[in-house]
Structure 1
């Protein structure tokens, strides 16, 4: 029997070029050269006997024939990709290996995991060690939860989870007595504690609530939120933190939010995963559960 279908390499070159809009961006996604993409598409067009892409300057768009062809072969490509990744994983069907920032894991994710286990007892979660400079390329990791602004390497797609909302925190007793905090500007008279990695949080928060603040200097700075919170509890000053990381401290009354002024920064925690793993069933289940938890998080 004569095989009329082209190679998967050629089909992937067409599909990714159509998705990215150019040979150069398709080459980045597929980790090959731009020339390799161009040659693969040319071979495919020669094979089917008609142009599938229309070049317009640096951009490439599907022709009418290209759109019709990709509409038919695209679902098959996705199915082959998902099946191959599943087979190569060499893990149980219900296994999911993720990497999560330790602070978010201990303060937000782990307290919610009993609910996930109760709902999905067949999925085994495995936590990979966190690396600050992780390029998100390890094939043995299904997904990462990382702090950022949503811009990740081209093969990675992401979903925002939590962490954009920032709030000031102080001790409960700071809301009472003659020196009580009564309006946001009163915070300027208190020692301001900074997060070492995000020193602009205070300036950003003051600007967002309409307080004209002078150049700010930290009374002390800490590189971990847990230490920052403990410093507030100890009476060293006041701090600005992500609300999702202080749920237990707020519930226990160890700290309070003196002013409920909604302020969202550009950073947050994102669930990141390779484009090719989006159909991995345990990941899809975990993603749906995680986003549902984020929707129900205290606001």
Structure 2
């Protein structure tokens, strides 16, 4: 039997250009060149013997014939896509793509990931690059872990994980001898190291423990928590950090808490995912595991 239908490549190019009203935007969505879209649609029009698009300024709009053809083939294309996706999800690993704030990623999440893999070997995780100005809407990303307060956009579902506990850290040697740190006021005699993105952390901590102070002048400031910790280890001074970000260094004895008096911040790390997307069992498994790790 002779096959009269065009190729799926041509149909996908046609449907994307029809939906987006632009060959260039269709090319971006399908990860091909604009020329590839133009050629695919030209082949389709030649095969059918009709014009599917007309140019209006910079936009490509469907002709009445093109609109009718899209109405006819669109549902079948959607059926093929959903059937293929369902089969791939059954036969292959469940996949999640995440974007995680770097400090939490390296200091808190990565050391725990072997446990997640052991419990969920069927879930494959991949990680998108971190963007500070990310609107948290990219369709190719399933979830984000970001620092923030409670004022998230209405379109996001969020769960607080960790990061609200602010604690002072020093070298273990700073807790020994006649000049040892024993009280919050003792910290005021030491060089104070600041996080350049959160310069008010020291003031928040001193206020939280009721220790009066004058102007707080940084001995040095650092943009990354990892550099801040290394500066403390090197003996440059003392710092305040989110407890969740220094667990490995505390456990290994490379740093110590000057005193176990955490002050709670109004910000912390949250798991964020867009509302309205189709349910993902793999994402629910990850969410449950993250909340369990955070509670522990």
Name the structure 1 match of 2:237. Answer: 237
Q: Which residue of 1 aligns with 2:4?
A: none
In the alignment, the residues of structure 2 paired with residue 254 and residue 143 of structure 1 have an alpha-carbon distance, to the nearest angstrom, of 33
Query: In the alignment, what sits opposite 1:101?
Result: 101
Q: Which residue of 1 aligns with 2:195?
A: 195
Pair 1:255–1:278, CA change in 2 (3 A): farther
1:146 aligned partner: 146
1:277 is aligned to: 277
Deviation, structure 1 residue 214: 0.9
Extract unaligned runs of 5+ from structure 1.
Answer: 1-83
Distance verdict in 2 for CA 1:176–1:89, change over 3 Å: farther
Q: 1:140 to 1:88 in 2, by over 3 A?
A: farther
Deviations 1:95-150 (A, max 9, x none): 11110012111111011111111111111111111111101010000000001113
Q: Distance in 2 between matches of 1:229 and 1:235?
A: 10
Distance 1:88-1:282 versus aligned 2 partners, 3 A rule: farther
Partner of 2:31: none
Q: What residue number does 1:256 align with?
A: 256
The alpha carbon displacement at 1:87 in A equals 4.4
Where does 1:1-299 land on structure 2 (aligned, <5 Å)?
Answer: 87=82, 92-93=88-89, 94-277=94-277, 279-296=279-296
2:115 aligned counterpart, secondary structure: helix
- Shift of residue 277 of structure 1? 3.4
Q: If you compute each CA radius of gyration, which structure gives the higher value, 1 or 2?
A: 2
The alpha-carbon deviation at position 89 of structure 1 amounts to 11
Distance 1:106 1:87, change over 3 A: farther
* RMSD of Structure 2 on Structure 1 (CA): 2.1
User: How much does 1:276 deviate?
Assistant: 1.9
Within 2, Cα distance between the matches of 1:216 and 1:278?
A: 50
For residues 84 and 208 of structure 2, what CA distance do their matches in structure 1 show? 46
SS in 2 for 1:189: coil
Cα deviation, 1:4-53, whole Å, max 9, x if unaligned, reads xxxxxxxxxxxxxxxxxxxxxxxxxxxxxxxxxxxxxxxxxxxxxxxxxx
CA distance in 1, matches of 2:177, 2:274: 54
Would the aligned equivalents of 1:278 and 1:284 in 2 still touch at CA under 8 Å? Answer: no
Deviation at 1:88, TM superposition (A): 10
2:76 match: none
Size of the aligned set, in residue pairs, is 213
1:151 positional shift: 1.9
